[in-house]
Amino acid sequence: MTTIALGNNGPLVSKLGLGCMRMSSIWGGATNDENESIATIQMALDSGINFLNTGDFYGSGHNELLVGKAIKGRRDDAFISVKFGAIFYGGKLLGLDLRPVAIKNFINYSLVRLGVDTIDLYQPCRLDGSVPIEDLIGTVADLIKEGKVRYLGVSEITSDQLRQANSIYPVSALEIGYSLADRQIESDLLPTAKELGIGVVAFANTAEGLLTGEMKAPLPANDYHLHFSRFQGENLVKNLEKVEMLRQMASEKGYTPTQLAIAWVNAQGDHIMPLVSMSRRSRLPENIQAMEITFTPEEMDLLSIHFSQGAILGGTYLQR
């Protein structure tokens, strides 16, 4: 597995990251088979994927407990990234708590659940302006000095916020949604991260399933995607028509649309890590294979034009 450095002179991590979120119930849905989830994490580690992404609010701590079980006895094999700050109740997001006193409380619970002494990358899940950024980043910086955290990360923020955070304490990684269907960060945020020497951890590579080639219109009435206009009515119909080109290219190259979607993100830079959510071992080989896919200049141009900004209709949570 190829490795990349998170930030200037930062830690070396696998170029492909494992997102553990879907192994737990986030929005009140069913929890995946725990034994299979643990086996998936361990197989990922065996395959050279050492970047494990979790959050203290994923399944109300269940996800951290799961990761803790999976890495027991092999802590040095894993680089653990933890998000904090979101408050859930009854499967619903109530808001954020980014107060320094709350962060100091969150970190202790995370360390216990994970069964570790130090979290490798610690980051607020996003910012809402409720707490001065100096206080928030300063608190994580204090945790780094105490030895409870190794590196500072940030997630889902603006270019200006990234500059401000990095001026307070060096940011090693920016976690942000990025895909062929969601390219709005290319105009400002991505160039800023590259300028500052900050690694990019890119999630939602398939745009919440839109780019998998498996989605059909209309969606079932209870599908959570229907909260977002991208997946509603004629928007979804037209968006799936756009995805047909990706399906065709994937077929011609001998891969799946999902693999091409991951490969495209991977090809956007040596400082960009595709973060892929998996909860089954059977998905690992195909996602690892996606990291080996290359595109001709003509294919890259075709994808860039076909999926230019605005080509996919409707909004999603990435356009808050």
DSSP state of 182: B
Is position 38 within any domain? yes
Helical spans, DSSP H, in 1-99: 34-46, 62-71
Is position 103 within any domain? yes
Is position 286 within any domain? no
Is position 26 within any domain? yes
Question: Domain residues for 38?
Answer: 11-177
Is position 4 within any domain? no
What are the tens digits of pLDDT across the range 292-302? 999 999 999 99
Lowest mean pLDDT segment, chosen from 131-135, 137-141, 309-313: 309-313
**Other C-beta atoms lying within 10 Å of the C-beta of residue 212:** 17
Is position 155 within any domain? yes
Is position 89 within any domain? yes
Q: Which residues are catalytic?
A: 58
What are the tens digits of pLDDT across the range 73-88? 999 999 999 999 999 8
What's the mean pLDDT in 294-317? 94
* pLDDT(29) > 70: no
Between 192 and 10, the higher pLDDT residue: 192
What are the tens digits of pLDDT across the range 197-224? 999 999 999 999 999 999 999 999 988 8
CA distances from 205 to 43, 122, 178 (A): 21, 22, 6
What are the tens digits of pLDDT across the range 76-133? 999 999 999 999 888 788 999 999 999 999 999 999 999 999 999 999 999 999 999 9
* pLDDT(320) > 60: no
CATH of the domain at 57: 3.20.20.100
Report whether 124 contacts 154 (CB < 8 A): yes
Domain count of the fold of the chain: 1
Is position 271 within any domain? no
Report whether 306 contacts 242 (CB < 8 A): yes
What pLDDT sits at residue 1?
A: 85
Report whether 227 contacts 314 (CB < 8 A): no
Q: For strands 171-177 and 272-277, give the pairing.
A: unpaired
Q: Is the pTM of this model over 0.85?
A: yes
